[in-house]
Structure 1
Amino acid sequence: MTKYLVIQKSNIVTLAKRHMFLVLILLAIVFVSVSGFAWNEKTVTLNVDGQTQIVKTHLNSAEGILRDAKISLNPKDAILLSTASLENGTVVTVVRAFPVKVTVDGQAKTVMTVQTTAQGLADELGYKAPNYVPLEDGNTHLTSNSEVTIARVTSRSVKNYERPVEVQVIRERDDTMAIGQEELVQEGTAGVESVEEEVFYQDGKEIKRQILNHNEIKKMVPTIIKVGTREAVVETSRGTVRYREVLTMEASAYLPTDGDGRGITATGMVARRGVVAVDPDVIPLGSRLYIPGYGMAIAADTGGAILGNRIDLLMDTYSEAMEFGRQSIEVYILK
């Protein structure tokens, strides 16, 4: 009897140990599952319709994440990932399909696509080379409501010829020159290149030409022009003033009583110091001027002998006019 009780107690202890072991295993499984679930959490950025949204998720498919974010997709929309697979930090971008009018063999239809080039759209629709070709440049960028014409190709040929390369004009900024000033640094010359061109035909009629490659025969030399970027200002007795152009002119002097003696200028202004006579084809009447050694002036008079880069300055006295005589001066046309 005593021996039986000992055996019974031993069985109970064994069962208890087994139960404890099973409980520990279950707890381990739960812990691993929970910790694994937490470890699998990732932060993903969604770019949709111009809006950015950051979400935390345990899902492993972009479609599922978008569905959870209540973002609907149209059949032709595309999903782009910034990484090879969905992971923490991935940027998910939804590219919305847009309508493009496509004409094939005279039949027009509107399709939805995310393709950005005419050739890409033609390929997507199954109109591939060498049997079909888009009549537009294959790299033409497509936008909503673009039009693409795809033609059937029945034959093609390759042509080789030479053509001139137009002179490129390079304008270099130069802050040592005033705004509006330019200086020719290098006179350009045209180049020559050989061209290999493919010509497409439909039933004997040419429908498109496409450059296959081109090689330089004679190098094009660009024209180089320095362009002033320094703000054009000049110091005067009234302070710093801005000017738009400076001209070197041949100057002479005259008196208010010259001409018909009435002392009235061609614009009706009273003749006085500060009024100058100009050729209106060179300096428009009414222009404000600054002349070093003379001062501020206004172009308000004309004269029969004042043609081209000639200017006549009104002086107060005969002796001042005689002393000035005739000389070359700089004339700043103010803004």
Structure 2
Amino acid sequence: MENYPISKTWKFLVLAALTIAITVSLGFFMYQGSISDITLQVEDEVIEVASKAKTVEAFLKSEGISIEEDTYINVNLDTEIEDNMNIIIKQPKSYTISFNAGDLDIRSVHSTVREILDDQGIVLGEKDFTYPELHKKISSGDKIELFQVEEKIETVEDVIPFERTVNKNHKLDYGVVQTVQQGKNGLKKSQYKKEYVNGVLRSTELVKEEIVTKPVSEIVEKGTNNLIVTSRGNTSYRKAVTMTATAYDLSFESCGKRPGDKYYGLTASGTKVRPGVVAVDPKVIPLGTKLYVKSLDGAKDYGFAVAEDTGGAIKGNKIDLFFESGKDVSNFGRRKVKVYILN
């Protein structure tokens, strides 16, 4: 067999064809088997994964990760995989938010209280607070309690009672009390800051107090003079009462009896009627009480007397004075007297 030499052109064509074939095969092989390094963060767990997947969706399927409707992912599912890609996935979790009005079940991909509330569009007031606290992380199924804090300023009006001052007056009869100055209550306004948590009062703080009207003290004088000046000298007494006085005698018009009638001339006490005997209401002045009857109109005092009689018309602060003369009865009429109950 004879050997024929190969031309240089043919050799070049063969080498070029081989080079193209090798390049195409290698490129196809590299395309089919390129590997990308991916950082995958699922919740708080971070892993490094090498993958041949072309898209994010394909990558997640290859890793067995399902994506729900409200799952958070930082890239679109149809995004092509790139080397050193960072993929973050947060699955929604169930929580309960407890309000003053009731509970609300929600889902959120976040895990801190603040992020969960922000995710739900819940804005807290300046003094509102939560349990757990805003920076705390919670787990699926946990409850967040919201506490609404409300401050109110309330004004309260209080009466300031007046004081009563009692002064002794030796010029006044014993037991007599007279008002020198009328008492008047004052008024105080107080402002309180009240803090309510979910409608329940938690604290009260006095912030302002104002005396609107000062009270006016009541001033009274109490008589201490228990002596009266009589024809017998100074006589002590234990009580003085102003009464309406009338007069009676032994006439039929006065006593309803005539001489010879039973009990004519006798008192209710069974004693003989005489000057100095007076008729009283026993509920006011007991029978047998010694008295001194003083005139209040400048006339002569009736003087010393004894309560021994009664009368159908003598009730309450009334007294009937006995006179022997009908003329004296007529002249006396009806007038005010001061009756001293003697010791």
TM-score above 0.5:
no
**Larger-gyration structure (1/2):** 2
TM-score band w.r.t. shorter chain = 0.3 to 0.5
TM-score (norm: length of structure 2): 0.43
Given the two structures, how large is their TM-score scaled by the length of structure 1?
0.44
